[in-house]
Amino acid sequence: MAGGAIVNTAGGKEYPGKLTLFVLLTCIVAATGGLIFGYDIGISGGVTSMDSFLKKFFPDVYRKEKEDQNTNQYCKFDSQILTTFTSSLYLAALIASFFASLVTRAFGRKWSMFGGGITFLVGAALNGAAQNVLMLILGRILLGIGVGFANQSVPVYLSEMAPARLRGMLNIGFQLMITIGILCANLINYGTAKIKGGWGWRVSLALAAVPAAIITVGSLFLPDTPNSLIDRGYDTAAKDMLRRIRGTDDIAEEYNDLVAASEDSKQIKNPWGNILRPKYRAQLTMAILIPFFQQLTGINVIMFYAPVLFRTIGFGGDASLMSAVITGLVNVFATFVSIFTVDKLGRRKLFLQGGSQMLVCQIVVGTLIAIKFGTDGVANLSKTYSAFVVLFICIYVAGFAWSWGPLGWLVPSEIFPLEIRSAGQSINVSVNMFFTFVIAQAFLAMLCHMKFGLFYFFAGWVVIMTTFIAFFLPETKGVPIEEMILVWKSHWFWGRFISDSDIHVGNLEMANGNNNKNNSNKTVV
Ligand code: BGC
Cα(412)–Cα(162) distance, integer angstroms: 15
Task: Report whether residue 177 contacts ligand 1, using a CB cutoff of 6 Å.
Answer: no
Strand, coil or helix: 7: strand
Stretch 441-467: mean pLDDT: 93
Stretch 270-281: mean pLDDT: 88
Whether residue 357 is predicted with pLDDT greater than 70 in this model: the reply is: yes
Nearest-atom number in ligand 1 for the CA of 401 is 12
Task: Report whether residue 291 contacts ligand 1, using a CB cutoff of 6 Å.
Answer: no
**pLDDT tens digit string along 201-211?**
999 999 999 99
In DSSP terms, 6 is beta-bridged to 524
Ligand 1 midpoint to CA 405 (Å): 6
Beta-carbon contacts of 338 under 8 Å, excluding residues fewer than 6 positions away, are 168, 172, 175, 350, 401, 402, 403, 405, 406, 407
Amino acid 317: pLDDT? 65
Ligand 1 midpoint to CA 34 (Å): 10
Nearest-atom number in ligand 1 for the CA of 295 is 9
Whether residue 12 is predicted with pLDDT greater than 80 in this model: the reply is: no
Task: Report whether residue 303 contacts ligand 1, using a CB cutoff of 6 Å.
Answer: yes
Stretch 250-260: mean pLDDT: 91
Task: Report whether residue 178 contacts ligand 1, using a CB cutoff of 6 Å.
Answer: yes
Task: Report whether residue 186 contacts ligand 1, using a CB cutoff of 6 Å.
Answer: no
Ligand 1 midpoint to CA 41 (Å): 8
Whether residue 256 is predicted with pLDDT greater than 50 in this model: the reply is: yes
Whether residue 409 is predicted with pLDDT greater than 70 in this model: the reply is: yes
Beta-carbon contacts of 270 under 8 Å, excluding residues fewer than 6 positions away, are none
**pLDDT tens digit string along 22-60?**
999 999 999 999 999 999 999 988 888 888 999 999 998
Amino acid 517: pLDDT? 37
What's the CA angle centered on 385, arms 380 and 387, to 5 degrees? Answer: 115
Task: Report whether residue 228 contacts ligand 1, using a CB cutoff of 6 Å.
Answer: no
Ligand 1 midpoint to CA 303 (Å): 8
Choice among 253-257, 330-334, 465-469 with the minimum mean pLDDT: 253-257
**pLDDT band with cut points at 50, 70 and 90 for residue 267:** confident
**pLDDT tens digit string along 204-238?**
999 999 999 999 999 999 999 999 999 899 999 99
Task: Report whether residue 338 contacts ligand 1, using a CB cutoff of 6 Å.
Answer: no
Contact 455, 369 (CB under 8 A): yes
Q: Which residue has the higher pLDDT, 88 or 181?
A: 181
Share of the chain above pLDDT 90, in %: 66
Q: Which residue has the higher pLDDT, 505 or 265?
A: 265
Ligand 1 midpoint to CA 341 (Å): 19
Average pLDDT, the chain: 89
**Residue with the nearest Cα to atom 1 of ligand 1?**
405
**Residue with the nearest Cα to atom 7 of ligand 1?**
405
Task: Report whether residue 432 contacts ligand 1, using a CB cutoff of 6 Å.
Answer: yes
Task: Report whether residue 436 contacts ligand 1, using a CB cutoff of 6 Å.
Answer: yes
